[in-house]
Amino acid sequence: MIEKWEILDDYGNSTGEVLERNNPRVWDKGIYHLASDVWIVNSENKILIQKRSEQKKLEPNVWAMSCKTRQIYKIQMGIC
């Protein structure tokens, strides 16, 4: 399945444009799409993080959240 992202404006409203995840425009500055983070916090209020691989295209070797996902275009999710 090809992952498609619904593009949003500066206010989080749909622009009506849908791009495939591998489209270079998705990663351009100013192109927004839905995403969510999952924070894992233990009873001592410690947050689970991980160091990104040096092979990652974006932000290699950076400490980051351990779980993140993009919201796939609504039609593929069966919402519309």
- pLDDT tens digits along 24-44: 887 777 788 887 778 889 999
Return the higher-pLDDT residue of 15 and 79: 15
Three-state DSSP string of the chain: CCCEEEEECCCCCEEEEEEECCCHHHHCCCCEECEEEECCECCCCCECEEECCCCCCCCCCCEEECEEEECCCCCCCCCC
What mean pLDDT do residues 35-63 have? 88
- Asked if residue 17 lies in contact with residue 9, where contact means CB atoms within 8 angstroms, the answer is no
Q: What percent of the chain has pLDDT over 90?
A: 19
Q: Where are the domains of the chain?
A: 4-70
Q: Of how many residues is the chain composed?
A: 80
